Amino acid sequence: MLRNRFLKSVFLGAIGLGMATPVESRQTLPPSYDEHISAKKAEISALVPSQADGFVFWTDTHFQADGESSSSEIISVLLDGIPRPKAIWGGDAITAYTNDIEKCWRAQTREFARLDKDIRLMPVRGNHDLTARESKDVKAGYSLSPKATFKAFDAVTTKGVIRNPKDKNGLYYYYDETETRIRYIVVDMFESFDGTDVFWGVKPGVSEKQLVWLVDEAIGKAPEGWGLVFAMHSSVGFDLSVHKSYVPLAEAIETLPTYRPDLKVLLVLGGHRHHDMQIVRSGVWYVMTASDATYQDYARSPFSPPGVRREKGTSNEHVIDYISVSKDMDTVSMIRIGYGSNRTYHLTPIEISVGESIQMPSEGIKTWVAYDSERSKYSFSNTKWYFSCEVAGITPNGRLFALSAGDSVLAAIDSIGNLQFYYLKVK
């Protein structure tokens, strides 16, 4: 019976599945966000120079069938008056356990439809799109076919993106912001598919077809001197030891200076693990953000504000980031709306040799921390990060000691929890 209902929804909704009834964006805020958004818009106005490009990123919304959210209203107000308004949604519309994928997706598309009509929407496919298990007690479920999933996503993607014409169901593409010379590249990390009768049938995998197109077209033919922003459900640098199919993609991004030295990778952005974290590899910042769904597993992140619990109906309910990028600037700025902290990523490395010691700035800084990019690992068994400090150590007041060759992340935390991240390269 469940299978018949899903099959009916696929055939009857092959076009309509991805399209909620259009509604006018209300551009109103929940009362708890009025003051918060006013303060955040002031922060955004202070950091947006004319040569920078800005967009909103939010991810892992995990809607129930009857789900509601105020994300679209917040994003619409946030981007009001911002030139070239864009929003990238990082995937996972569906809750892990449901017996009605279609209703969950419609709940998500209702939110998409409430975005202001001038906002360009660029969605990313996640590992729960579009697949679910009926419940924790029932080992049954369903996954929509690649064709039906493509139609659902294509229906909510603002027109004007460039796709691979040789891949009719490909959920990867790019979009060019010509005025600011930024190419946004959306990657599909979950192309593997186990079948429609399988719950959680969407699996990790980047096909050779996608990889060749990304390298030859999206990256290889990017206009000279442009900046690149990569968006994907799981920021690829975190998963190389778990999913070997991701290694060639990371290598293509990290070795870009060898075949397109004129281009600049500004950010590789994702979600997936529901918490804030970042590493740097070969000069590329891989950044993940917490889920917009009000889950409590954000506490996995060592960069979560201590003692603050996410609650619906409060200004800690959502996790939305406004991100400012520029090919001509040394920093990427992320203004956090909702739960969490602002973050700034410095693109130019600090280079020192083994045995050297330098003093980092201390004014306005509450404490400094350092951790290795390669050796710091996440444990899925106990949902914690384990940090290694073999490349460098740093005292709370910023005295830095280079211990061994490699890449390290330096984090400066100010008195209100805002974060500055630096790329340390020890030779």
H/E/C letters for each residue in 168-187?
CCCCCEEEEECCCCEEEEEC
What would the pLDDT profile of 241-284 be if each residue is shown by its tens digit? 778 889 999 999 999 999 999 999 999 999 998 889 999 999 99
Q: What angle separates helix 101-113 from helix 146-156, to the nearest 10 degrees?
A: 20
28 pLDDT tier (thresholds 50, 70, 90)? low
pLDDT of residue 121: 98
What would the pLDDT profile of 288-306 be if each residue is shown by its tens digit? 999 999 887 655 677 777 7
416 pLDDT above the threshold of 80:
yes
Comparison of pLDDT for 27 and 114, the residue scoring more:
114
- The SS3 call for residue 379 is strand
341 pLDDT above the threshold of 60:
yes
CA distance 241 to 373: 13
pLDDT of residue 298: 58
323 pLDDT above the threshold of 60:
yes
First-to-last alpha carbon distance for the chain, in angstroms, is 63
Measured CA distances, 213 to 127, 159, 166, 216, 218 (Å)? 21, 20, 9, 5, 7
* H/E segment holding residue 394: strand 392-394
What would the pLDDT profile of 219-228 be if each residue is shown by its tens digit? 999 999 999 9
71 pLDDT above the threshold of 80:
yes
Side chain identity at residue 13, one-letter code: G
Q: Assign domain 2-342 to its CATH architecture.
A: 2-Layer Sandwich (3.30)
pLDDT of residue 26: 43
Side chain identity at residue 204, one-letter code: P
pLDDT of residue 266: 98
pLDDT of residue 310: 85
User: Would you say 183 and 230 are in contact if contact means Cβ atoms under 8 Å apart?
Assistant: no
CA distance 250 to 237: 6
- Beta pairing, strands 53-58 & 86-89: parallel
398 pLDDT above the threshold of 70:
yes
Mean pLDDT, residues 62-89: 92
What is the maximum span of the chain, computed from C-alpha positions, in angstroms? 68
Please report, for the chain, the start and end positions of each structural domain, with discontinuous segments joined by +: 2-342, 351-426
Q: What percent of the chain stands above pLDDT 70?
A: 90
CA distance 167 to 374: 34
Q: Give the lowest-confidence range in 181-190, 289-298, 354-363.
A: 289-298
User: Would you say 268 and 253 are in contact if contact means Cβ atoms under 8 Å apart?
Assistant: yes
CA distance 277 to 300: 10
85 pLDDT above the threshold of 90:
yes
pLDDT of residue 275: 86
Q: 351-426: what CATH class?
A: mainly beta
> How many other CB atoms are found less than 10 A from the CB of residue 241?
11
258 burial level (CB within 10 Å; 0-12, 13-18, 19+): exposed
CA distance 206 to 245: 6
Q: Give the lowest-confidence range in 67-81, 193-207, 329-343, 379-393.
A: 379-393
19 pLDDT above the threshold of 50:
no
274-296 exposure pattern, b = at least 16 Cβ within 10 A, e = fewer: bbbbbbbbbbbbbbbbbbbbbee
Does residue 144 have a cis bond before it (omega within 30 degrees)?
Answer: no
pLDDT of residue 67: 84
Q: Give the lowest-confidence range in 79-83, 174-178, 371-375, 382-386.
A: 382-386
CA distance 71 to 15: 25
pLDDT of residue 18: 41
- The SS3 call for residue 113 is helix
48 pLDDT tier (thresholds 50, 70, 90)? low
What would the pLDDT profile of 89-114 be if each residue is shown by its tens digit? 999 999 999 999 999 999 999 999 99
33 pLDDT above the threshold of 90:
no
Mean pLDDT, residues 384-394: 89
Q: Check residue 360 and report its DSSP letter.
A: P
Side chain identity at residue 159, one-letter code: K
What would the pLDDT profile of 243-255 be if each residue is shown by its tens digit? 888 999 999 999 9
40 burial level (CB within 10 Å; 0-12, 13-18, 19+): buried
182 burial level (CB within 10 Å; 0-12, 13-18, 19+): buried
DSSP letter for each residue of 225-257: T-EEEEE-SS-GGGSTTT-GGGHHHHHHHHTHH
- Label residue 49 left, alpha or beta by phi (over 0 means left) and psi (-120 to 50 means alpha): beta
pLDDT of residue 5: 36
**Intrachain domains 2-342 and 351-426 with the same fold:** no
